[in-house]
Structure 1
Amino acid sequence: MKMAAVNPRTGERDYEFAAASAQDVADVAAALRRAQPEWLALGVQGRVAALSRWADAVAAHRLPIIAALAQDTGRWFLSETEVDGAVRNLRRWAALAPEMLGDDMRGPEKASALIPTVRYQNQSVPYPLSGFISPWNFPVTLSLIDAVPALAAGSAALIKPSEVTPRFVAPLLETLDAVPELKSVLAFVLGDGAVGQALIDQVDLVCFTGSVATGRKVAEAAARRFIPASLELGGKDPVVILESADLDQAVDAVLRGGLSNSGQACLSIERVYVQRAIHDAFLDKLADKASRLTLNWPDIHSGHLGPLIHAPQAGIIERQLKDAVAKGARVLTGGEIRTDGGGRWCPATVLADVTHDMEIMREETFGPVLPVMAFDTADEAVALANDTTFGLSGAVIAGTVEEALPVAERINAGGMSVNDCALTILTYEPEKNSFGLSGMGGSRMGPASINRFLRRKALIMQSGVPAPLDVLEESRAPSRA
């Protein structure tokens, strides 16, 4: 079946691709399964050597991938950042995997404390075929962020990127010609939710990044197949700004944390709580700086904010803004969706006088909108920040790290930035779990994220004589009733 993708800058359906059928997915999965034992047999050093060569190939051919990704998403600089970040991710895992897994994926032998003649060790066994379903907001990053450690662990990888942003796949796949052993265990299938369901039906583990609604469906489908599901879902990230904070630094951090990629990130700041003593001054500075941010139209190489990648998101933003204004919120800057060149754009938007009965403070917005609310005490700020069904990440900004840290420790979210915003986007090292409806499963960040793709097998070795059946004789009981 043919499908078409929309160019977010023009609104035109200018890219056609063939969607995989369920049989296509099954055939691809079967081929990956056949190749996986040979991939595993390469050993950790052989696999990381292949990942390193792929990093070199992607780096050498980055411009065609960036150009295709820029058409997918409507922004250039972040497309460069994604592709270069994918290269770093490959090299990072090529360096980490040997240390994490050991040359033979076995731990050291240890003596049993209970039976002197028994020794044991653990073996790491990868899931043969891991599946990945990724969204449209960071297409390259989120297609590979989980697949690369899975490959390093010895799994084959089957990826379904969003049908909204499929253009990057073809030039990325061309780079695999330089790494034939990797090409045999890594594949992409294109299409909509039906292809995602077909993928779940074929794999041994699934990683999904996307909305809560779709994440529920993925979890249910995985449960029916009795396979693990690792879910990274939505967020409604808060930032708490205490009165000791440097106003200019806080404003800059909030703008970057909330408006990067036009707010189209699950880790975006979407709720801003400011201590009352500095609330008005902060709000004035925030609205002033936000009003000076520009759209990258008509020149993709200028401006701060790209288009809304998926046009239907405009309707969600408009509905939330309308609800907020109807309930008393004031729009200080922005506030209206624009149509330029056929694409849909949202200028940087700052709202004042918001309350928690507004949709904009409770539902994920996924746009460049910053609603600001005053608080009096740190206890009140923590209560407001925790008044949500989400718990992906958040931030606290104060005059010092020492003042901010105790507040950050009380907020229910998997990753907290202290005296900055959205550090969870910029750092891969810290491990974190999603709280609430923001997801489930092991950490996708940090060195241990590779453990999601491994099962622990115990090898328990008897060097003495096995116990005879007589040890079960009832008369051996030390006491009798």
Structure 2
Amino acid sequence: MNVRNPRTGEFDYEIFPLSLEELESKIYELRQAQDEWQNQTLDFRIETLRAWKNTLEEQKELLIEALTIDTGRNLETQIEVDFLLNSIDQWCDLAKIFFEKPVLGVSSITSLNKEVQFVPYRVIGIVSPSTFPLFYAVLDTIPALLSGCSVIVKPSELTPRFTEVLINSFAELPQMIEVLSFTHGDAETVIGLTKLCDKICFTGAKNSAKDILNVANESLNPVDLELGGKNIAIVTESAEIERATSAIVWGCAFNAGQSCNSIESIYVHRNIYHQFLSRLVGKANLLEYTFPNVENGQIGPIIAEKQVEKINELLADAINKGAIIKAGGRECEILGGGNYCRPTVLINVTPSMKLLKEEHLAPLLPVITFFNADEIAQVNELSFEDSVAIFAGSNDEALQISEKINVKRLTINDIAINSLLPEVNAERFNKFLKQKTLLINNQQEKSNWWY
């Protein structure tokens, strides 16, 4: 399977997917090795992960180089690599607290004491996207390994080069090479993993998630999904315009908008609309491509060719229905073989336009006015998994608006939660564990219930 370079457009790398039989054999090996890995102490697993970090630090520049080729951008790559190195220590510290002692509970039967133990899933399959390839590949890998699972990772077939460095980084750690594996492939490989692994962790598009769920329904294996959404920003009349425009341009254009957490539409109070629009357009126009030098500029190439077609389709639909472009272009540009999309500010946007309904994964900034927050129709269409950023002159005003919005993640006067990387937190360990409940009768006398 040939892999395209997003900066040059050339197919300069090749991956070799495993057959279903080979995949089945690999997962069998991981499952056999998991027993010993689980039975090791937590301190042993932590020591192993920290040894991996040491080898990664030695190969940091190689990892940055491979990931930069994969994605065509440099700044975000350095952030991803630094996140990986920092997160290993964070996960190890959290594991010490999370797994410190059994959880004691209260049984509804007064004669029984209750103790909850955690049992790891044996083999976790991780399917990661091309948007932040390294980050999403390791986000679940590290806590899963610390929990005692074996892990097999399938990165996006669009951005696989970095895995070669990762594999080499733990080649001299026999305890890890037996419980961590990477495999390449396409949708067929994902289906195979879903059938064979004990649990799948998927990050990506909703259509692909549906295919996984259909297979999982037959196997009854659990699936954890992190999907893209339609994240919006709301700017009230009292908002600080300089702050709001700077944050929103960043939240939309970082990584060329290729993030499931990017801002995809902006609702601004009509009394500040013209001033807001002027500053938004000015700041969007200041951003430059990372071309011809990858270390200069802010906007890297669009990684997936199919996404380029999608972006052009969304822009054409909006223009045909009356949208006006105030910054950016009517379609993506080809430079040196790569596809680039300028931060594109659109006005005269209406609900019938596809760009308000479908995920962009591009730096498109449609701006819609409102007079009362209740007018923001898209708020009612948000799913609980989406994100909202509210910019207001006071927290009280923003909180009042937030009470009417039912989403998991909401920020006030910032794009932090809508940005690049979800937090490292102990709750993530629960994804890789099953609960085992012990009910212990410590009383000497016979129960009144017994015959």
State the TM bucket, normalised to the shorter chain: over 0.9
- Residue pair 1:236, 1:391 contacting (<8 A) in 2 also: no
Q: Aligned to 1:69, which of 67, 70, 75?
A: 67
CA distance in 2, matches of 1:136, 1:203: 22
CA distance in 2, matches of 1:183, 1:149: 16
Unaligned runs of 5+ in 1: 430-444, 473-481
CA distance in 1, matches of 2:59, 2:186: 28
Per-residue deviation, 1:468: 7.3
Unaligned runs of 5+ in 2: none
Per-residue deviation, 1:97: 0.7
Specify the alignment match of 2:226 in structure 1: 232
Distance of aligned partners of 1:289 and 1:115 in 2 relative to their CA distance in 1, 3 Å threshold: closer
CA distance in 1, matches of 2:289, 2:347: 22
List aligned pairs for 1:143-222, cutoff 5 A: 143-222=137-216
CA distance in 2, matches of 1:241, 1:30: 53
Q: Aligned to 1:361, which of 356, 359, 363?
A: 356
Number of residue-to-residue matches in the alignment: 450
Does residue 452 in structure 1 map to residue 431 in structure 2? Answer: yes
- Residue pair 2:262, 2:419 contacting (<8 A) in 1 also: no
List aligned pairs for 1:277-292, cutoff 5 A: 277-292=271-286
Per-residue deviation, 1:321: 0.6
Specify the alignment match of 2:110 in structure 1: 115
Residues 57-82 of structure 1 show CA distances to partners (whole Å, capped at 9, x for unaligned) of: 21221110110010000001111111
Per-residue deviation, 1:149: 1.1
List aligned pairs for 1:221-370, cutoff 5 A: 221-335=215-329, 336-370=331-365
Residues 296-318 of structure 1 show CA distances to partners (whole Å, capped at 9, x for unaligned) of: 11000001100001121111011
Specify the alignment match of 2:388 in structure 1: 394
- Report the TM-score, using the length of structure 2 for normalisation: 0.96
Residues 407-466 of structure 1 show CA distances to partners (whole Å, capped at 9, x for unaligned) of: 23422322112101143435644xxxxxxxxxxxxxxx6321110111111111123358
Distance of aligned partners of 1:391 and 1:469 in 2 relative to their CA distance in 1, 3 Å threshold: closer
- Root-mean-square deviation over aligned CA pairs: 1.8
Distance of aligned partners of 1:471 and 1:390 in 2 relative to their CA distance in 1, 3 Å threshold: closer
- Report the TM-score, using the length of structure 1 for normalisation: 0.90
Per-residue deviation, 1:392: 2.0
Q: Aligned to 1:5, which of 3, 6, 14?
A: 3
Distance of aligned partners of 1:399 and 1:21 in 2 relative to their CA distance in 1, 3 Å threshold: same
Distance of aligned partners of 1:283 and 1:125 in 2 relative to their CA distance in 1, 3 Å threshold: same
Code of the aligned partner of 1:380:
E
Distance of aligned partners of 1:101 and 1:414 in 2 relative to their CA distance in 1, 3 Å threshold: same
- Residue pair 1:83, 1:140 contacting (<8 A) in 2 also: yes
Distance of aligned partners of 1:66 and 1:427 in 2 relative to their CA distance in 1, 3 Å threshold: closer
Per-residue deviation, 1:470: 8.0
CA distance in 1, matches of 2:443, 2:278: 78
- Residue pair 2:259, 2:420 contacting (<8 A) in 1 also: no
Residues 329-367 of structure 1 show CA distances to partners (whole Å, capped at 9, x for unaligned) of: 100111221000011111110001101110011110110
CA distance in 1, matches of 2:172, 2:395: 47
- Residue pair 1:262, 1:306 contacting (<8 A) in 2 also: yes
Per-residue deviation, 1:180: 2.2
SS at match of 1:157: strand
Distance of aligned partners of 1:124 and 1:375 in 2 relative to their CA distance in 1, 3 Å threshold: same
Per-residue deviation, 1:469: 9.8
